[in-house]
Structure 1
Amino acid sequence: MGFPDGSVLNVFAAVVPRTRDGAYILGEMGPHTAAAGRVYFPCGTPDPTDIAPDGRVDLAVSALRELHEETGLVAREISPEAPDPGWAIVRDGGLMALLRPVPLAEDEATVRDAIAAHLAAEAEPELSAIVSVRRAADLDPARMPGFVRHYLASVLA
């Protein structure tokens, strides 16, 4: 039914990983998932482990947890010398994506190899493939939701 009540939003945090040599890394959802074949940034709905002791939902923790669960990448692989990139918010109909750019310390080939090893070790990986985006021509309207395309189009312009 989509979002019959326009005041209801699905709000979620996502990491926007970018390799040292400029590739944005996305994942194609596996065939057993509800979004099979769709291409996203690592993301998901916050869960109880993302709630800080004071009751606040830690969106950065949530987004980094999703990055690790889906790709095997961990915080130590994030470039430590990069300035804090902040957050971008992209609304796409009933979706509100809270996007956290994350510069990775490694190049695309190294990151792809690490993710491939992670996926191969899982019994049922959430992702079926890794997709790299370097230019607007790489955007795929048939498989990428609007919030992904809108964000990437803005940073690739």
Structure 2
Amino acid sequence: MAQLTSNMSDWPDERRIFPVSRIDLRVVDGPHPYHLAERDRIAENWAREVSANPALYDGRMMLSRAVQISDGVISGETHIVPFSAFLLWRKTRPVTSAIHLFALPVVVSSDGAVIAIRMGKHTANPGRVYCAAGSLDPADIRDGICDMDGNMAREVLEETGLVLSDADRVSGFHALHDRGIITVFRCFGFSAIATELIGRIAGHIAQDKEPEIDEALAIRSADPGLHLYQPFMLPILEWVFTNMR
């Protein structure tokens, strides 16, 4: 029988990176209990968000619950919700009601740079810098399970034009969590140097009629003052520069 709540008291410490041997995120039919309970507040918040940023789109994505982390295995249930539900959850972080889990592919050039992107002003994360990625959505469901590698390949291709299967080195999965958000990541080492990868991404952005990103960046240190990073990026950068050079 599925767990009704997450075993958060047994999770590794927040922002501490740990190895992951398996990810088993099962898709459950029907609305997420958080979405059902907060419909009115979600609608009210969405109206405010769209008023401030009319470019926002209320697409469908996955929001998890009952997530268990034990002996390197991450398991749990996830539901399809509108993006508006996630936006309210992200503001308030009721971690007993929902957990956000997403996959982050970390592209590393042959000369040791992490290739990241800066999000456009019209997006839900304006000006934020992180590796190209996106929330799990219904396109990532395979036989009732969320496909992490498929999500990473799709998001990187859509946002940057890079093909993850071209990588020469691929690490295992690792993860960290922070206030109810679980970031699952793996590194993809390319034979191209940073300037070549940045150039490819710039060409992709130029051809995109509605690009989500402003530019690609080559990051060579974990200095927190270099960019406006998403919180999960700094411990990941420290880990990459220690383990992937």
What RMSD in Å do the two structures reach over aligned CA positions?
1.7
The letter of the residue matching 2:173 is W
Corresponding residue number in structure 2 for 1:89: 175
For residues 70-119 of structure 1, the C-alpha deviation after alignment (integer angstroms, 9 at most, x for no partner) is: 1000134312xx3x411110112231111121111211111011000000
2:237 is equivalent to residue 152 of structure 1 = yes
Could you say what secondary structure the match of 2:127 adopts?
coil
- Of Structure 1 and Structure 2, the greater strand share is in 2
Could you say what secondary structure the match of 1:123 adopts?
coil
2:218 is equivalent to residue 129 of structure 1 = no
Corresponding residue number in structure 2 for 1:59: 148
Cα distance in 2 for residues equivalent to 1:144 and 1:131? 12
Could you say what secondary structure the match of 2:159 adopts?
helix
2:160 is equivalent to residue 74 of structure 1 = no
Regions of 4+ moved over 3 Å: 139-142
Could you say what secondary structure the match of 2:115 adopts?
strand
User: Where do 5+ consecutive residues of structure 1 fail to align?
Assistant: none
Aligned runs of 1:28-67 on 2, under 5 Å?
A: 28-52=118-142, 54-67=143-156
2:189 is equivalent to residue 103 of structure 1 = yes
Q: Percent identical across equivalent pairs?
A: 32
The letter of the residue matching 1:60 is D
User: Where do 5+ consecutive residues of structure 2 fail to align?
Assistant: 1-87
Cα distance in 1 for residues equivalent to 2:190 and 2:202? 16
Summarize the Cα distance change of 1:27–1:57 in structure 2 as closer, same or farther, 3 Å threshold: same
Pairs aligned (count): 152
Q: Is the 8 Å Cα contact of residues 93 and 180 (structure 2) preserved in structure 1?
A: no
What TM-score, normalized by structure 1, do the two folds share? Answer: 0.88
Corresponding residue number in structure 1 for 2:75: none
Corresponding residue number in structure 2 for 1:120: 206
Q: Is the 8 Å Cα contact of residues 23 and 108 (structure 1) preserved in structure 2?
A: yes
1:21 corresponds, among 108, 111, 125, to 111
Q: Which has the larger radius of gyration?
A: 2
Could you say what secondary structure the match of 2:162 adopts?
coil
Could you say what secondary structure the match of 1:109 adopts?
helix
Cα distance in 1 for residues equivalent to 2:228 and 2:164? 28
Larger RCO, structures 1/2 (Cα 8 Å, 6+ apart): 1
